[in-house]
Amino acid sequence: MDRRRRLMDQIVEKVIRSIRLGLDHGKLLALFAVIYSSVQLALNQIAPKKTLNHFIGGFLGGILVYGGVLNMHFKKLVNEAIATQITMYCLSRVVLALGKWLSVKLQRRTGLRRAQIEKLGWRTTSGLVWGLLMVFYHIDKDLYLQRALRHSLDFQFGGTCYSWLEAFNYAR
């Protein structure tokens, strides 16, 4: 019976933690939305409907909410682990959008269709991501790359024979 009780306690604990994390995630999105919308209202009074207004609102909201400035003034208002995850997710989407944007610019010069643009955008993005990753790996991997990524790249490109042999050694 004690084992069942522990299992039930663990399940309840995980459900409660999941709910807390969901609320923290929602709080981050809501804080950003309020800041972004407030900045938009103010800027549209000065210079209506400018694209720069969207950047400024996003930039300020990003710094305050996701960049940790609110946490400097209001301790633990923002869950920084979730803020990091959301920012990394958004970064990947922005990089993909940049690839498409570059492809659209190329389309005007080359006459490509939308499907070709999307394929070229993905290829451009993939090339940029992996090209820059390898540059940062070779410039100073300890400074620029996270530890897990560094180890993965060391395994692939570290120049040690044993690392390839260890790839299939699951006993350790």
- Enumerate the domain spans of the chain: 1-78
Nearest to 98 by CA among 123, 116, 115: 123
Coil vs helix vs strand at 60: helix
pLDDT of residue 86: 94
pLDDT of residue 166: 58
pLDDT of residue 141: 87
pLDDT of residue 167: 53
Per-residue pLDDT of the chain (172 residues; tens, 9 = 90+): 798 899 999 999 999 999 999 999 999 999 999 999 999 999 999 988 888 999 999 999 999 999 999 999 998 899 999 999 999 999 989 988 887 787 777 777 777 777 777 777 788 888 888 999 999 998 988 899 888 888 888 888 876 555 555 555 545 4
- Measured between alpha carbons, how far is 153 from 160 in angstroms, rounded to an integer? 12
pLDDT of residue 162: 52
94: left (phi over 0), alpha (psi -120 to 50) or beta: alpha
Question: Residue 74 — φ and ψ, nearest 5°?
Answer: -130, 95
Nearest to 102 by CA among 120, 129, 79, 83: 120
pLDDT of residue 82: 92
Look up residue 160 and give its two tokens: 């040690």
